[in-house]
Amino acid sequence: MMADSSRLCSVWLGSETGILKGVSLGRKQAFNFCNTRQLSRDQEVRALCWADPAQSELLLGSVDGTVRTFSTEKGAFTEARRCGEPAEGCFTGLAALSGSATVTCVECGTLRVWREDSSEPATQLHAGQNVCRMRQSPVHRHKVATGGKDNPLKIWDLQRPESPAFTAKNLRDDWLDLRRPHWVRDMAFIPDSDKVVTCTGYHQVHVFDPASPQRRPVLEVEYGEYPLTALSLPPGGQSVVVGNTHGQIAVLDLRKGAVRGCLKGLAGGVRALQCHSSQPVVASCGLDRFLRVHSLEDRKLLHKVYLKSRLNCVLLASREEAGQAAGEAGSQEVKEEEEDEVWDAMERVEEAPKRKTTTEEEEEEEQEEEEVKKKSKKKKKKKKEAFED
């Protein structure tokens, strides 16, 4: 893969097959940045983040516990280091700190801070069992949030990792005085505030305010009937985009708790969402193998790219695409395909009508004769009753 093609990519995605995919929306091209002949399920990409503010490097977390570094300028992987074991579970989050430090979190709840010059973690803490997601604050990068199944939202200050800076309280009991379970699937820090918004496996959206005296949600909204799997905040932070396991994406107002609108076109569960940092667009990916980019202003589908494998994570580049030509991408280039074009190009096969067997024909004739006999009996009965009257 040539380096100049990677600089054209405006969307980056990680797949189940371990392939890092880059998509240039402006040139309508997609590229594979892995050796497709040596793929393994152990290389499945479960987490993806930028390694530096200049967005010149990516960090990829694989199922086998390896964190790989990809240079978007060179168009190649430059480093790989072991940051966990497969027995601990998959990566639920990656983050980069100043000073070339990396933050990792796995499903068993182990959160570690790794320095570039050491093979042992500089900081290690336990965030509880069954962690589903870890997210970093875009403003205070030393703060991260974690949460999972029966594991409430926690906010950690990595400069003081002895205990969480904030721990959410259990939800209020329902009208039958029964405990309401919680299942945090994703979260995000609301800009220009200390608030955190979460989505749950029980189709709820919660807003927590660590500055508030109460540790319960200050806002609670329900959307749909299916588990919510991902969320992202558009510029401004006054709304949130959420997706669920049935391919439904909605924009919710965080001030009124109402649904602003829905984004259509998905055919599978949503695994990742990301809104652009400055443009009113959102990228989504999931089980149907398509990358979709929707406009948040009129909710129209702007781009749809078929990428051949199930997608786990998506990352939007905030910088503009480079202007130089991409060159030939070799055998690893993947062209953009529209769903309608794929089906139109297929040869149409019409199934010939099934010919009835002799036995089926005889059975149908017997049924018709029985119906005729029944009708004639009814007519005779009616005539007899009329004659007696």
Contact indicator for 199, 185 with CB cutoff of 8 Å: yes
**pLDDT exceeds cutoff 60 at 71:** yes
Per residue in 200-257, pLDDT tens? Answer: 999 999 999 999 888 999 999 999 999 999 999 998 889 999 999 999 999 999 988 8
Q: Which single residue is written with the structure tokens 């801070």?
A: 113
What are the residue boundaries of the structural domains of the chain, listed by start? Answer: 3-35+42-170+180-341
**Torsion 41-307-186-243 (CA) sign:** negative
pTM above 0.75, yes or no: yes
- Model confidence pLDDT, tens digit, residues 37-56: 677 778 899 999 999 989 99
Write the class of the CATH domain 3-35+42-170+180-341: mainly beta
Which H or E run includes 167? strand 166-167
Task: Specify the higher pLDDT residue, 129 or 369.
Answer: 129
Tens-place pLDDT, residues 157-169: 999 999 999 999 9
Residue with tokens 């399920």: 41
